[in-house]
Amino acid sequence: MTPIILASTSRYRAELLARLGLDFETINPGVDETGYRASNGRELASALAHAKAIALADSNPGRIVIGSDQVAVCDGRFLGKPGSTEAAVEQLLFQRGKTTLFETAVCVLDASGSSNLECVTTLVQWLDSSQISDDLISNYVRREQPMDCAGAAKSEGLGVALISQMRSDDPTALIGLPLIALTGLLRKAGIEPLSKP
């Protein structure tokens, strides 16, 4: 049995965690995200990341559980995973020429049940309509299929061509799991990624 659980079904988060070379298992935390409310994206992402970690704690005693969540907010509007081509296009048209705040939280529950959490903010400035037409946005959605990405932002792929500027303390945060923050939290939980032979 691996000591680490990633409380997520996101392939993006699993791919990012795999970069650390640690053995882990992914388990769906079964958290209903629709029941959570918050005044801002940071608060909501943090609450959801914590809820996902806690959801698996009782059934996995003595293991380290990682929960993570991302919330996108543009002009006061919370943008979730679009789920459909039409919704992805609509979200991107709404964000065009604006700045979106992506709040990516990660919570690590250690083997004793104590938790530590960090939230990383990424500011994304989108190109405006003089640079990116409706047709180009539709073409991006058709090619990248970003229906499972908050705000339809898939910066690790072709989505970068829609962005004029991106600012973050952690380049992996926008993809879904801030690895710089996570390695610090894992160290607090007794896991040193660099010690594995």
**Residues pairing with 126 in the sheet:** 163
Is 30 in a helix, a strand, or coil? coil
CB-based burial label for 26 (10 Å; 0-12, 13-18, 19+) = middle
Active-site annotation holder among 23, 69, 134, 169:
69
Rg of the chain's alpha carbons, rounded to an integer?
17
Residue 137 Cα to chain centre, angstroms: 22
C-beta separation of 103 from 181 below 8 A: no
Give catalytic status of residue 32 as yes or no. no
Catalytically annotated residues:
69
